[in-house]
Amino acid sequence: MLVYHLPGTFETREAHLDLLWEAGATGLEERAGLIRAYFDEETELPEAIRDGEWRQEADQDWLAEFKANLRPVQAGRVTIVPPWLRAEIPAGQVGLVIEPGMAFGTGHHATTRMAVEALSDLNLDGQTILDVGTGSGVLAIAGALLGAGYALGVDIDPITIPIAEENARDNAVPEGRTAFMVGTLGDDLPGDVVADGVFDVLVANLYAELHDLLVGVYVGHLRPGGPLILTGILTGKLPLVQDALDREGFTDVQVSTDGEWALVTARA
């Protein structure tokens, strides 16, 4: 990797930044009093920016670095790990293996962790779960591993579905215990297991404004008394979700938070 080190900052060398771009820089970065300009090859630079120095630096593999820093995530009775950390699942914990990739849901985001924790607080034996915005499938798969009879994950992003299916296979979830489909609430859900579209548990890691819109739809997909688990909510937006739950007659509304993120549970 070829980097041109130019003394100064973006502020002090503002007038020279265009010269770097014009000379063919592919990226600029400011670090410790230096402007680092990335180039594919050494080029003749204009006089005004010749006070720097060309350096050949070792390539940095950001993905490898990200992967090397991943640690197991404990969420209640479940420990979520990438495939290469399977051996670190503590005895007695339910291991959930998720390959970090294109779909949201490695367990490292507070909302995913809180949602898995909320699922692990329930007795899911034989229950049916609807996971709205399934991403990597992490919540549906957690539900199946915690004993649910059937967990259906839906997501509007088609890229997520094969990823969620592969994650279910990697966790040896028995055939038929999870299913994933492109779509959202309001679409026809597959009726082979849950014919009336009414589930025992509904979990959704989306965002506050969407929960506000969908709470009326959630009611129709949840058996009376069934637990609703909602996250992806910034704490500042909690009132929006709480008001929507009140409006639709949900009871036993409880909130937990982790930093700026909140999770709300309620009963239909």
* From 14-22, 58-66, 71-79, 127-135, span contacting ligand SAM (CB under 6 A): 127-135
Should residue 232 be labelled a site residue for ligand SAM when binding is judged by CB under 6 A? yes
Residues from 136 through 165 that contact ligand SAM (CB under 6 A): 138-139, 154-157, 160
Q: Do the beta carbons of residue 151 and residue 144 sit within 8 Å?
A: yes
Q: Which two tokens stand for residue 134?
A: 């399934």
Q: Does 134 bind ligand SAM (CB under 6 A)?
A: yes
Q: Which of 4, 79, 81, 104 binds ligand SAM (CB under 6 A)?
A: 104
Torsion angles phi and psi, residue 233, rounded to 5? -105, 125
- The site for ligand SAM, by CB under 6 A, has a size of 21
Q: Which is nearer to ligand SAM, 85 or 217 (CB)?
A: 217
Per-residue tokens: 180: 């994933």
Q: Which is nearer to ligand SAM, 79 or 205 (CB)?
A: 205
CB 187 within 8 A of CB 176: no
| Cα–Cα distance, 219 to 33 (Å, whole number) | 56
The span of 88-96, 117-125, 131-139, 249-257 binding ligand SAM (CB under 6 A) equals 131-139
Exposed e or buried b per residue across 224-252, where buried means at least 16 C-beta atoms within 10 angstroms of its C-beta: eebbbbbbbbeeebeebbbebbeebebee
Binding site for ligand SAM (CB under 6 A): 104-105, 111-112, 115, 132-135, 138-139, 154-157, 160, 184, 205-206, 210, 232
